[in-house]
Amino acid sequence: MHGIARDEALALLSVNDRELMQETYETARWIKNEIYGNRIVIFAPLYISNLCENDCAYCAFRKANKDLIRRALSQDEIRRETEVLLAQGQKRVLLVAGESYNEEGLGYVFKSIDTIYSVKNEKGSIRRINVNIAPLSVEEFRELHRHNIGTYQLFQETYHEPTYRRLHPRGPKADYNFRLESIDRAFEGGFDDVGIGVLFGLYDWRYEILALLSHIEHLENKFGVGPHTISVPRIEPANGAPLSFNPPHAVSDDDFKKIIALIRIAVPYTGIILSTREGAAMRRLAFELGVSQISAGSRTNPGGYTHDETGAAQGVTATDCQFSLGDTRPIIEVVRDIMGHGHIPSFCTACYRLGRVGKDFMDLAKPGLIKHNCLPNAVLTFAEYLIDFGDDPLRVEGFAMIDNMIDSEIENADLRERVRSHLARVREGKRDIYV
């Protein structure tokens, strides 16, 4: 569970023998379970704006797309989107915006964060907001950090500089170095947890993996901390972005499985995120390859959740999405699927709440100790979901899984009894209990 060096990763990149690949997959699964346990964390993106000054060749939000209806949600609209997410059982949100906001500038993002946190109903509130927005200066990162967010997430898209410059010809994002150095500035601005990623399909995935590992090595050497999460999106069709329908370096399903397994083996401690870009079948396979976080019930257009609920949100259509979704199932179906493959759904935010972040988190994750927190918190948050949002068959099956997991997966007797005690309080109506 110590990871592998770039030259070792390079050797694995060239493996195509089926038996060796099966060993690789089994190793990745073992590592994930040793570090995080048998849980899959669930979250939802919340798009607040599709205004953008960039012209990324693969994105529906690109400035050249004149068919897109542009909008930045009002705070009332953001409040309504949050209410819908809470009614679905979500507890973790990833705030997303194009690289332009409204006349308020970055202050609009800060107000939006405050609005999301302010929304409460009888079953709780959003407990943690992570943020995926454009690169900032160090001082702007300090301001963002003061708004009590969890992870700052930014994808380089492609590390191959000539390809990057060709696919990002105009707008602030055209500056390759400014984007590449953003994660450094986030750390310098006070962030403990950052998320990075590659949009696979823009350039040779082997190059991207090695470059990603080089970036991680740089962060660990400079800050003593690597990425909290790594995202592995593949290009999906996006209206108004012809390149997205014919990616220049399309990644096959077999190679995509190899990508996930390699990242898990090379960077064991990181959370690997798989979005709803992928279909249900690939997401099921990814559970066994090292993925530890997924989005569920996602919508990738501003106002998309409200539109789904009412069918009549003004100015919102399916064509306003940033990219096509491969998995459009509601969250309860995703939960059933996770359970059906022997994993426990988790809505945990405990590490953020307790300040168990950055180096403190890594000190527990790297030797495989963090699962002693992950599994209990998965049990408690899943029990909340079952009681508040599950139907009767799901509750029966879910609590049977919980009882079995407490007995079979939590080895420490004192912790096991503590979890049972907390679980009894959850059944009595207590919420937001964590260890």
- Contacts of residue 397, defined as CB under 8 A and 6 or more positions apart, other chains included, come to 339
Please answer whether residues 193 and 293 qualify as being in contact, where contact means their C-beta atoms are separated by less than 8 angstroms: no
What single DSSP character describes residue 326? S
User: Facing residues of 344 across strands?
Assistant: 39
Is 171 a residue whose pLDDT tops 90? yes
Average pLDDT (296-309) is 88
Alpha-carbon span 294 to 42, nearest angstrom: 5
Higher pLDDT, 78 or 369: 78
The conformational region for residue 112 under phi > 0 = left, psi -120 to 50 = alpha, else beta, is alpha
Task: Say if residue 111 is exposed, middle or buried (CB neighbours under 10 Å; 0-12, 13-18, 19+).
Answer: middle
Say what the pLDDT of residue 84 is: 97
Q: pLDDT-derived band of residue 101, with 50, 70 and 90 as boundaries? A: confident
Average pLDDT (99-104) is 82
Is 283 a residue whose pLDDT tops 60? yes
Say what the pLDDT of residue 270 is: 95
Q: Point out the least confidently predicted range of 112-121, 286-295, 300-309.
A: 300-309
Say what the pLDDT of residue 319 is: 56
Say what the pLDDT of residue 307 is: 79
**What's the pLDDT tens digit per position in 308-324?**
655 444 444 455 788 88
> If you search the block for the tokens 């709440």, which residue do you land on?
353
Is 103 a residue whose pLDDT tops 90? no
Say what the pLDDT of residue 310 is: 53
The structure's pTM equals 0.94
Structure tokens at 76: 């009332």
User: Facing residues of 132 across strands?
Assistant: 96
Say what the pLDDT of residue 1 is: 87
CA-based nearest residue to 357, from 102, 186, 221, 218: 186
Task: Say if residue 17 is exposed, middle or buried (CB neighbours under 10 Å; 0-12, 13-18, 19+).
Answer: exposed
- The one-letter code for the residue type at 301 is N
Say what the pLDDT of residue 276 is: 92
**What's the pLDDT tens digit per position in 387-433?**
999 999 999 999 999 999 999 999 899 999 999 999 999 999 999 99
**What's the pLDDT tens digit per position in 31-72?**
999 999 999 999 999 999 999 999 999 999 999 999 998 999
Say what the pLDDT of residue 413 is: 94
Q: Is 371 helix (H, G, I), strand (E, B) or coil?
A: helix
Say what the pLDDT of residue 312 is: 41
Is 209 a residue whose pLDDT tops 90? yes
Q: Domains of the chain by range and CATH?
A: 6-365 (3.20.20.70), 371-427 (no CATH)
Q: What value does the mean pLDDT of the chain take?
A: 94
Average pLDDT (355-378) is 92
Q: pLDDT-derived band of residue 100, with 50, 70 and 90 as boundaries? A: confident
Average pLDDT (11-25) is 94
End-to-end CA distance of the chain: 24
Say what the pLDDT of residue 324 is: 84
Average pLDDT (293-304) is 94
Please give the share of the chain, as a percent, with pLDDT higher than 70: 97
Average pLDDT (355-362) is 91
Alpha-carbon span 251 to 262, nearest angstrom: 15
